[in-house]
Amino acid sequence: MIFVSEEESAALITHELAFSAVRAALIAAASDDSRVFPAVLGRASDPGNTFSIKSGSTADITGLKVGSFWNRNPERGLPRHNSAIILLDQEVGRLRAVVEAGRVNAYRTAAADAVAADLLARPDAETLAIFGAGNQARHEVSALKRIRPIKRVFIVARNPSQAEAMVRQCREDGLEVALATPEEACRAADIIVTATPARAPLFEPEWVRPGTHVASMGSDAPGKQELPVGLFARARLFCDLPSQSITIGEFQHVRTQVEAGELILGQLGAALEGRIPGRTAADEITVFDSSGISIQDLYIGQMIVDRLL
């Protein structure tokens, strides 16, 4: 059995590796031989500490990811989020590899955003509005500026110290950056990304300009919501996995309309393969919901193991 420590996986992960792994995983998740099983959401003895278990398989990989959120970890000098990827031997079911993947998980999440934006955002998208200024939001900016000519970033955040730290990072990366209100950010943006734990919409649908690409990265549990449902009728809708997105993702709030066919929800992997269209016009609004699927974790875990070996 192979064990990869947090320090080893953090040293190996790059945005390039994450993009490659997640793109392949999203395509695999849209194939007939993939299986993604319902997420298990749990709580520790302290109800503020939560975890999730996401599992799945394809023709060549099987396993699960355990993601944890320990609310008071910053008081101990530790990150709130952590992750472990467990790969099983396809033949006999024994442990093949365990990968500690706290930092890897942030890269994986940002890579899903980048893969979707690479397909759905306009090629000339220069202005990014980002809701949230935590660790994940910073990774989102770094991943997106690899695949689009991002010049300006508007940050919408509630935590002043996090916001200022993110402003400094963006400036160090050569970006024009400013703190903004939700309306200011949305009205200026070519790409809008939400990376928060919100449980209510963060902006109004009429603030989104034609041609904008919108990505929700934070909705991954019942009750979470970042986007206004009024936006969906004006947009083309995509997600990583429809069955999960309408259960714990952003589209849980329009599940009835999706199941009735009133809203059409496309799977990103099918669009990446060209089986359904991506963006079809410069003035289209596109929406991507990333609820986070296990196959992404398994693919990136395998790439980490391959690189280590």
Which residues are identified as catalytic?
Answer: 65
Q: Output the CA angle 305-106-217, nearest 5 degrees.
A: 130
Cα gap 245→252, rounded to integer Å: 6
Cα gap 20→67, rounded to integer Å: 21
Cα gap 239→244, rounded to integer Å: 9
Structural contact between residues 189 and 212, judged by C-beta atoms closer than 8 angstroms: yes
Cα gap 234→154, rounded to integer Å: 23
Cα gap 292→53, rounded to integer Å: 11
Structural contact between residues 117 and 147, judged by C-beta atoms closer than 8 angstroms: yes
